[in-house]
Chains A and B, each alone.
Chain A
Amino acid sequence: MRVPRPDDLRRFCVVDGWVRAADAPGRRVSKHEVWTKRIADGRILHTAISKGRGEYGVPLFARILRAQLQVTAAQFWLAVDKGEAPRRPGVHGSRPQGEPLPFALAERLLAAGLPQAELAGLGQAEAERLLAELERRR
């Protein structure tokens, strides 16, 4: 498995539209670069890139992809090598083929502010959880 160096993670964050956190006045100055990315459904991704040192190990890289960046290795390297930002339609969980979302549920999700593109790939259980979350925040 191809593994990245810190520069590759930095490049991914830039291509994927992450925002680098500035050290707030009066607060601790970090030795890391802290990056966050807001997703339309309310999720916020977080990663911190430590300075120095070479390639990441395979087990750690796999965890960074899954938990922090929420992309596949292929999406990661496409962003780093070709500058193509990943799409994350599958992070809600795949919808089984032939199982449509109930109309009322889709309508309420859109009314609650979920962008239409985010409906793709939503299963019913995840859609209901997301709706409850969006309505609770309103």
Chain B
Amino acid sequence: MVRWQMSEARKDFSTLVERASLGEWQLVGRRARAEVVLADAAEIAELLAAAFPFAPEVFAEETGVEIWLPELEVYGRGSTLAEAQDDLVEAALDFVDAWEAELRAAPNQRHKSGHARRVQLADDRARVAEVLFGATPGSPPR
């Protein structure tokens, strides 16, 4: 693990990125205190996945399917399971947008940060679906 002063990090940023992508965390700060960490995104995603699993709940109705995501307290609906999954992906993305903008400071929302970060780190809808439902055949809907 390497500690960098802010000014050094600014000058040598590409080196920091290269080392971080190889799995070596780069701590950056002013004086002796680390204020930010540059780390490999896949490693962070793995750590978050282990600590913050999702357990969606499915309710099959006569007219369709509804899925509740207790960790973010959002839901998706559709006439089929795949449609409900797609709707839940949309709802999760809506949530993290709102979470980033204002919810994360609220005392009743702050505890969702680990799960919200997992969705943020997924870089497209298919990956978000994988994060929420796991990589099962037939899903996620793209």
Q: From residue B123, how far is it (CB to closest CB) to chain A in Å?
A: 13
Residues from chain B with a CB closer than 8 A to the CB of A32 are: 90-91, 94
Instruction: Check B68–A60 contact: CB distance below 8 A.
Output: yes
Residues from chain B with a CB closer than 8 A to the CB of A42 are: 106-107
Q: From residue B77, how far is it (CB to closest CB) to chain A in Å?
A: 6
Instruction: Check B75–A60 contact: CB distance below 8 A.
Output: yes
Looking at A30, A50, A137, the one whose CB has the most chain B CB atoms below 10 A away is A50
The verdict on B79 contacting chain A, using a C-beta distance below 8 Å, is yes
The verdict on A53 contacting chain B, using a C-beta distance below 8 Å, is yes
**Interface residues of chain B: helix, strand, loop or mixed (majority):** mixed
Q: From residue B59, how far is it (CB to closest CB) to chain A in Å?
A: 5
* Contact A28:B97 (CB < 8 A) given known A36-B102, A60-B68: yes
Q: For B92, give the chain A residue with the smallest CB separation.
A: A48
Q: From residue B39, how far is it (CB to closest CB) to chain A in Å?
A: 26
Instruction: Check A30–B59 contact: CB distance below 8 A.
Output: no
**8 A Cβ contacts from B40-68 to A:** 57, 59, 61, 63-64, 66, 68
Q: In the docked arrangement, what's the CA distance between A112 and B68, Å? A: 36
Residues from chain B with a CB closer than 8 A to the CB of A27 are: 97
* Contact A44:B76 (CB < 8 A) given known A34-B94, A53-B64, A60-B68: no
Q: For B110, give the chain A residue with the smallest CB separation.
A: A133
Residues from chain B with a CB closer than 8 A to the CB of A133 are: 107
Q: For B64, give the chain A residue with the smallest CB separation.
A: A53
The verdict on B103 contacting chain A, using a C-beta distance below 8 Å, is yes
**Interface residues of chain A: helix, strand, loop or mixed (majority):** mixed
Instruction: Check A48–B102 contact: CB distance below 8 A.
Output: no
Instruction: Check A48–B94 contact: CB distance below 8 A.
Output: yes
Residues from chain A with a CB closer than 8 A to the CB of B61 are: 57
Q: For A91, give the chain B residue with the smallest CB separation.
A: B108
Residues from chain B with a CB closer than 8 A to the CB of A45 are: 108
Instruction: Check A67–B91 contact: CB distance below 8 A.
Output: no
**8 A Cβ contacts from B58-102 to A:** 59, 61, 63-64, 66, 68, 70, 73-79, 87, 90-91, 93-95, 97-98, 101-102
Besides A57-B61, A59-B59, 4 other CB < 8 A contacts? A32-B90, A32-B91, A50-B76, A63-B68
Q: List 21 A-B contacts (CB under 8 A).
A: A21-B101, A28-B97, A30-B93, A30-B94, A32-B90, A32-B91, A32-B94, A36-B98, A42-B106, A43-B107, A43-B109, A44-B102, A44-B103, A46-B73, A48-B91, A48-B95, A50-B91, A53-B64, A53-B79, A60-B66, A67-B73
